[in-house]
Amino acid sequence: MKPFFVRLDQYLIRLYLIGGYLAAACLVTIAILVTVSIVSRLLSIYVPGLTEYSGYAMAAASFFALAYTFQSKGHIRVEVLVSRLGTMKRWYVEVWCLSVASIVSVLLAAYLAKLAYWSWKFEEHSEGSDAILLWKPQVLAVVGSVLLAICCVHHLVKCLLSRPQEIESIDGRA
């Protein structure tokens, strides 16, 4: 591959890793929020919105980590058939899989962005006791899903540019 692509590849991988770290931070946030809810209940203090915030942190943790998980081959797939194919066929299957993944992830990112946009436009509030503007947590999910879309397209392009012998499949356990 050309040096430009190599460098781009490295930058993108770093970008996904940052997403992973953000997700990890969200996971720690969930733990802290739940701890606060336990402690506040023991002290009979009412802190509104804790469950909702945990939910948003959960969504953020999941979405932020999607690309990072994809990059580190953490997403599972059915490997029974793919693993039995020869190099050339395997390349075609890989291109097919990555194409589907790219389409799905781009659609997901686009429509989540649309959802967040309408929440922002109509100033939708959460129905829970937190009553915050819904677009705020939704934007986090949008960022995560955009990262995943970039990641899928990145791997599709990379696969198309490599020769069949060079592809390392993004395989998971399944």
Query: CA 36, CA 41: separation in Å to the nearest integer?
Result: 8
Beta bridge partners of 125: 133
149 binds another protein per the rule CB under 8 A: no
Q: H helices within 43-134, ranges in order? A: 50-71, 87-121
Q: Cβ closer to another protein: 6 or 25?
A: 25
Task: Please give the Cα distance from 32 to 124 (Å, whole number).
Answer: 27
Q: Site for another protein (CB under 8 A): which residue of 13, 15, 47, 93?
A: 93
In this structure, what token pair is assigned to residue 170? 């993004």
CA 31 distance to own-chain centroid: 20
Residue 112 interacting with another protein (CB under 8 A): yes
Report the first-to-last Cα separation within the chain, whole angstroms.
30
Q: Tell me: does residue 163 bind another protein (CB under 8 A).
A: no
Work out whether 105 is an interface residue with another protein (CB under 8 A).
Answer: yes
Restricting to residues 51-90, name those near another protein by CB under 8 A.
Answer: 51-52, 54-59, 61-66, 68-70, 72, 74-82
Q: 164: burial class by Cβ within 10 Å (0-12, 13-18, 19+)?
A: middle
User: Which of 3-11, 135-143, 155-163 is the region at the interface with another protein (rule: CB under 8 A)?
Assistant: 135-143
Candidates 18, 28, 131, 133; binder of another protein (CB under 8 A) is: 28
104 in contact with another protein (CB under 8 A): yes
**Is 16 one of the binding residues for another protein (CB under 8 A)?**
no
Going by the DSSP 8-state scheme, the letter that residue 170 receives in this structure is -
Contact residues for another protein (CB under 8 A)?
A: 20, 23-24, 27-28, 30-31, 34-35, 37-38, 51-52, 54-59, 61-66, 68-70, 72, 74-82, 93, 96-97, 100-101, 103-105, 107-108, 110-112, 114-115, 137-138, 141, 170, 172-174
